Amino acid sequence: MKKLLYLYVILGAAIGCKKNDLPIITPDVITEKVKHDTDDPAIWVNKKDPSKSIVFGTDKDTDGAIYAFDLEGKIIENKTIRDLKRPNNVDIRYGFKLNDSVTTDILAFTEREKQQIRLFSVPDMKPLDNGGFDVFEDATAQDQNLPMGISLYHSPEGKMYAIVGRKSGPLDGYLYQYELLADSTGVKTKLVREFGAFSGKKEIEAIAVDDEEGIVYYSDEGKCIRKYYADPSKGNKELACFGGEFFVDDIEGIAVANNVHSTDYIIVSNQQKNSFNIFNKSTLEFVKELNLTTKETDGCEVVTEPLNSVFRNGLFVAMNTEKNFFFFDIGKLL
């Protein structure tokens, strides 16, 4: 079975892709296929039993879904959210306080055709949003109210935020940051800032927040990876714009991998090259490029804690354009 898996990914990488002479790193697991079009993954770690952790992934279509997969890549039907209107990006955080005595882990995603974000508890998959939260309500230009990217941020003070990108936007203030607020009537959102430079070249979709450092990274697809403070109180000054020279065309999915062999990294999809670029998080210097045999990767995600006998060092998940996701032990990559 493993030989067939390796043959599949090697042949797949050779068909219809730009030339890539990097050494091939084959996935440990390839998921079952979704119905339409994979885009972005998120990983929920089961703290009580990491072997029962769940990978969620978007199926981007009018008849879309958030698929749930076990660590063998099998679809978990009773954790899958269906009948969505073009879900785009998805993210996970832990310990959202619903009231004085109840906390829950949460899954948030953008639902583009409804111009909103959604919020569910994990792992029971109960909606917390009364059908959804509107975003970019003040947008006047076409496409500026269509949400795409999303990343959650859990601050040291316990505040929970959603940072949201869109299909198109202004040269400044492209991202909106919403605080998630819970009380006896339920969960609400409050717009707390508009921030983020945009080159005007393509679009901004991929967003990743490093909670440990309080930093948000996002892909200005035709320009660079941009770095800002995630806490609104620290202002909107750009901290860095880096890495653009290492990409063929679109700079895409971002994942922050902390404490891998005592080093922290930023992993970014080099979409048209069908590869991933690795940067040192502390210096922002380019480290290396990887060929993981995925095609046209949009989103990726990583956790750096042991999950099971296959993912002993943690799990890296990458979207593949053939309606599936590839799983790798992070120790194979870094």
Residue reference for tokens 């099998």: 74
DSSP 271-313: GGGTEEEEEETTT--EEEEEB-S-SS---EEEE-S--SSSSSS
Residue 293: name the closest of 5, 59, 38, 3 by CA: 5
In a domain, 73, yes or no: no
Domain final residue, candidates 186, 213, 242: 242
pLDDT for the residue 84: 98
290 shares a domain with 162: no
- Tell me whether residue 171 is in a domain: yes
Tokens found for residue 197: 């430079």
| Residues 205 and 252 sit within 8 Å (Cβ to Cβ) | yes
Q: Examine the fold and report which residue of 242, 264, 282 is the final residue of a domain before the chain moves on.
A: 242
64 in a domain, yes or no?
Answer: no
In a domain, 192, yes or no: yes
Task: Among 214, 242, 270, identify where a domain stops.
Answer: 242
Parent domain of 136: 85-242
* Residue 259 and residue 237 in one domain: no
What would the pLDDT profile of 124-163 be if each residue is shown by its tens digit? 999 999 999 999 999 888 789 999 999 999 999 999 999 9
Which CATH number do you get for residue 183?
Answer: 2.120.10.30
> What pLDDT score does 6 carry?
43
120: its two tokens: 């569910």
> In angstroms, rounded to a whole number, what is the distance separating the alpha carbons of residues 129 and 132?
5
Calculate the CA 238 to chain-centre distance: 21
Q: Is residue 134 part of a domain?
A: yes
Does 58 map to a domain? no
Q: Are residues 322 and 263 in the same domain?
A: yes
Total Cβ atoms within 10 A of residue 43:
23
Residue 62 counted as domain residue? no
Tell me whether residue 202 is in a domain: yes
138 lies in the same domain as 233 = yes
Task: Give the model's pLDDT for residue 250.
Answer: 92
Residue 215 contacts residue 237 (beta carbons within 8 Å): no
Amino acid at 213: E
Q: Are residues 92 and 206 in the same domain?
A: yes
Q: Which two tokens stand for residue 26?
A: 């084959």
**How confident is the model at residue 138, as a pLDDT?**
92
At residue 8, the pLDDT reads 44
CB 268 within 8 A of CB 250: no
Tell me, yes or no, whether 325 and 223 share the same domain.
Answer: no
Same domain, 103 and 227: yes
211 and 329 in a common domain: no
pLDDT of residue 3: 45
Distances (CA, A) of 223 to 142, 248, 289: 23, 11, 18
Is the same domain home to 98 and 171? Answer: yes
Whole-structure pTM value: 0.93
| Strand 300-303 relative to strand 263-270, pairing | unpaired
Would you state the pLDDT for residue 245?
A: 97
Ranges in the chain, pLDDT < 70 = 1-19
Torsion over CA of 37, 43, 44 and 47, rounded to 10 degrees? 160
Residue 120 and residue 217 in one domain: yes
**Tokens describing residue 269:** 């999809």
Task: Mark whether 94 and 236 lie in a shared domain.
Answer: yes
The pLDDT, as a whole number, for residue 142 is 77
Secondary structure (DSSP) of 67-100: EEE-TTS-B-GGG-EEEES-EEEEEEEEEEESSS
- What domain count does the chain have? 2
In a shared domain, residues 174 and 104: yes
Residue 63 CB coordination number (10 Å): 12
Q: Which residue matches tokens 């879309």? A: 64
